[in-house]
Each structure stands twice: as C-alpha cells, then as structure tokens.
Amino acid sequence: MLLGCTKQCSTASLLFVAHSGAQNPSSLFRNFFTKRTKELKPAVQSAPGWKLFGKVPPRENLPKDSKIIQQEYEARTGRMYKPPPPSARRKNIEFEPLSTTALILEDRPANLPAKSVEEALRHRQEYDEMVAEAKKREIKEAHKRKKIMRERFKQEDNIASAMVIWVNEILPNWEGMRATRRVRELWWQGLPPSVRGKVWSLAVGNELNITPELYEIFLSRAKERWKSFSETSTENDVEGASVADREASLELIKLDISRTFPSLYIFQKGGPYHDLLHSVLGAYTCYRPDVGYVQGMSFIAAVLILNLEEADAFIAFANLLNKPCQLAFFRVDHSMMLKYFAAFEVFFEENLPKLFLHFKSYSLTPDIYLIDWIFTLYSKSLPLDLACRVWDVFCRDGEEFLFRTGLGILRLYEDILLQMDFIHIAQFLTKLPEDITSEKLFSCIAAIQMQNSNKKWAQVFASLMKDNKEGDKNHSPAPKS
C-alpha cells in the first residue's frame, strides 16, 4: 500500500508540473528535491548507519573516554598504572614512523596499558642500537663507494697516461722497445683499450701473410658455399657429409654465434656484430678446411672483432689459431693435448701441492676444466674486461701465460676448492664466480712461479716431448731382416 501510494503521489506531482503552466519546471524539481533533502538530513545524521534488512538501532551508550577505559582496566586487573617520568616519554614526535623499527619508541594508545619504565628504556636502547648499526652500514657502504670511485679515477688516469706512452713512444719504435723491461711492466698493468687491438695485432704477428684481399676472397667463397648449402642440402646430405663439413656448416656456426656473449646482445641475430662474426668464422672455415669450425672459436673471434676492424680481426684470428697450442686443441690432437696437461700438472704440484694432492685423491684431471679455458682463451669463463687483460699478457708471454692463469685461478679459490668433492669442484671451475676482480686474480697469477727444478715452461714441455719421442722409438717394432 505504501509503495502504491508513493507511485501515485509521484505521478500526481509530474502531472501537476506538466499542466501548471510554469515557465521553469526544472526550478520546481530543484526546489522540491532540495526541500526533501533538507528534511531528511537530521534523520540521516541521527542514524548510526544501515544494514542489509533495515537500520541499525541507535546506540544508547556513547563512546567511552580513554580514562574510563583505563579505570575499568585497573579495577578488573587490580593493578594501578604509574606513568613514567616525563623524561622517559617522548613529548614531540619529530617524524612519522616509517617502519616497525621506529614504532618501538612510540607510546601505546591511551586505551591500552602503557609501557613500563623498564620496557620503554629497553625499547629506546634497542632502537639506538639499530640506528647505530644502520649508520655503520651506511658509512661502510659510503666508504666502499668512495674507494671504488677513487680506484676508477686512478685507473682512468693511469690508462690516459699509459695511452700517451704507447702512442708516442712504444708503437713508433715497436721492434726496439717491445722486449724492454719498462714496456713489459707497462704491458702487465693492462693495455689501454684505444691501443689494445693494435698491440695484439703486432704481438700475434702475421706469419701466414694474410692480406685483406685474401680475406675477401675466402669470404666470397663462404657466402657461395652457404647459399648452395641452403638451396641443395637436405638432412640426409648433412648426415652423410664429413665431420669437417658438418662443423663448417652454416647451421652450426649460427648456433654457436647465438651463444656468444649472450648478455651483450650484440652478436645475436639482429645485433650490430652478428653478420661480422658470421663472416669471419665462415671465411676461416674456407681458409682452413682441415681445421673447420670448432665450438669455442666464436668467443675468440668475437673478442678480436670488438678490438679490431673486420679484416684485421680475421688476420689476427687465423694467425692466433695457427699457434702450436691452439692448433693442437682445435685439431683435437690428443697426444699434444696430453703433453700440455702433463706440463701443467708439473707446475701445479710445484705451486699448489696441497690442492694438487686433493685433486689427485678424486682423480680430477686437468682436462675437466682446462679444455674450456684454453679453447676460448678464458673469454667465456671470465668477465670480458678481465679476459681482455689476460689476453694482453698472453700476447706478450705466449701459451705459458694461459696455463699460468689457470694456476692463478686455482690459487685464488684454493681454500674453497679444498672443501669440495669431485662433482662440486668440476661445477665450480666450469662456471667461475662472476665477482672475480682483476686485482685479486693478477696478484695470484704473479705469485705463481713458472719454474720447476730450474726449468721454465718451455724446457719442461720440450723434455716431455722428448720423452714421448723416445718412448715411441722404444715401442716401435723391430725392422725385419
């Protein structure tokens, strides 16, 4: 009945507006609803709220004062509250507490039991200790950042001064100065990036007499080969091809390029150096089909490309892989590789006898970790800037420094490795920590003495080669009469 009445009243009101002849009906609506709203305001303010099926009944009791709550609590518990002296309470809050750490100093709300003097003092002490520790950490981190910045500025100054010496004094007189003590010491400190590629090219040399024109010839052959390979080859053709052909194929090179310095995103497909790296590797497979393409080559070529022009990178790449050590590894000459491992173990036992025996107890041989290091010249295992510095001294000292670097890594992590078993040692050396620094590594490398019974690396390796030849002669069959 009430709903029907409301509808009829509303209809009557609308009809009245339509037939009243009022010039401004909207004003009537506005006045009508405004008056209705004003009438409802007191009722709305007096009501405490609404619930699903009607109004909440008005509260009879007013909110209790905090003092009343405190008195009720004291009467219920029988304990009297003694407020702490004014000195122990915080009168002024100078900041909004941003964490629970700061809340321990805040007084509890008035409707809760206040802190005792002992609790307030304990909280103050805990807070002061936390603040002191936080300040210590901040000061320590600030000193660390300042130290890093000072070292960086110092390194930049050293590089700038060294660059002037290399450009104006050493490079114009390369042959006469390269072996001097001053140049060798400067070389050990690392080459300035602006002259690194030039020094590498001069140090590696060009015994193969490769010219930029020869590179273009082999590059064009590689492109023709890739084109014919993509047009005519099938899976059966690839399976029936020789090992060298499979490793020289476009697909294998493409696969390896995509895994070369993936964090840099410059050698992957679409990157600025993708096609350049592809060209250098493809040209080399045509230049040295007896070697072909072997996994790990892409890292060496990539480092050279970052420091040299395309043709110069190819010339350095081909001559570098023509060195005895690299040729033995990339051609997988097992007998030669074993000689290098044996020579490495001679100096391993000489410099790190405790770790050497630990490795021996687990039958952990050098090939497990050295092959990856030598194949990529540490460019995959170490941070790129540190690997470039290893390359600097490698170009100065030759293959000996590659094995000396390996011993330096073992010395750096000797204490950790002594606590590990076979599996964990192999995993650790396969993926070295990323936070390794050049200062720590090169200090460990400098501590490695490449001398055994007054014999240097070259003499030890030569004696191993001689023993191998004599052993082959003794085991050779006697000639028939």
DSSP symbols for 98-136: -SHHHHTTSPPPTTSPPPPHHHHHHHHHHHHHHHHHHHH
Of 207, 156, 158, 209, which Cα lies nearest the Cα of 186? 158
**What is the DSSP code (8-state) at residue 61?**
S
Reported confidence tier of residue 106, pLDDT bands at 50, 70, 90: low
- Whose tokens are 């080459």? That residue is 191
Flag whether pLDDT at 436 surpasses 70: yes
Among 280, 318, 283, residue whose Cα is nearest residue 302:
280
Structure tokens at 196: 């690194």
Calpha distance 211→219 (Å, rounded) = 12
Predicted confidence band of residue 116 (pLDDT cuts 50, 70, 90)? confident
Average pLDDT score over the chain? 80
d(CA 120, CA 220): 83
pLDDT over threshold 80, residue 294: yes
- Amino acid at the residue 83: P
**Amino acid (one-letter) located at 32:** F
Between these two residues, 481 and 279, which has the higher pLDDT value?
279
Phi, psi of 98 (to 5 degrees): -95, -5
pLDDT band of residue 2 (cuts 50, 70, 90) is very low
Highest mean pLDDT among 242-251, 336-345, 468-477: 336-345
Report, in this order, helix, strand and coil percent for the chain, each rounded to 5.
70, 0, 30
Phi, psi of 270 (to 5 degrees): 95, -15
Tell me the H-state helices in 310-398. 310-321, 324-330, 334-351, 353-361, 367-375, 384-397
More confident residue, 266 or 42: 266
Q: At 21, is the pLDDT very low, low, confident or very high (cuts 50, 70, 90)?
A: very low
Q: Please give the pLDDT value at position 469.
A: 66
Q: Which residues are within 8 A (CB) of 67 and not within 5 positions of it... i.e. 6 or more apart?
A: 110
* Tokens matching residue 21: 């002849």
Q: What is the rounded distance in angstroms from the CA atom of residue 299 to the CA atom of residue 198?
A: 19
18: pLDDT strictly greater than 70? no
- Between CA 16 and CA 21, with CA 20 as vertex, the angle to 5 degrees is 145
Helix-helix angle 438-447:399-412, to 10 degrees = 110
DSSP 8-state assignment for residue 84: P
Alpha-carbon gap, residue 126 to 121, rounded angstroms: 9
Q: What is the CA radius of gyration of the chain?
A: 41
φ/ψ region of 451 (left if φ > 0, alpha if ψ in -120 to 50, else beta) reads beta
The single residue listed with the structure tokens 């004094």 is 169
Tell me the average pLDDT across 271-283.
94
pLDDT surpasses 90 at 363:
yes
**CB contact set of 319 (below 8 Å; sequence gap of 6+):** 204, 205, 206, 207, 208, 210
Could you tell me which residue, 318 or 82, shows the higher pLDDT?
Answer: 318
One-letter amino acid for residue 362 of the chain: Y
Q: Are strands 451-452 and 455-456 parallel, antiparallel or unpaired?
A: antiparallel
Nearest to 388 by CA among 317, 302, 328, 330: 302
* H helix runs in 248-296, sequence order: 250-258, 274-287
pLDDT exceeds cutoff 70 at 46: no
293/250 Cα distance (integer angstroms): 10
Q: CA-to-CA distance for 112 and 458, rounded, in angstroms? A: 84
Closest CA to 103 of 137, 75, 127, 133: 127
Which two structure tokens, joined as six digits, stand for 462? Answer: 């030569």
Q: Quick check: 123 and 103 in contact, CB under 8 A?
A: no
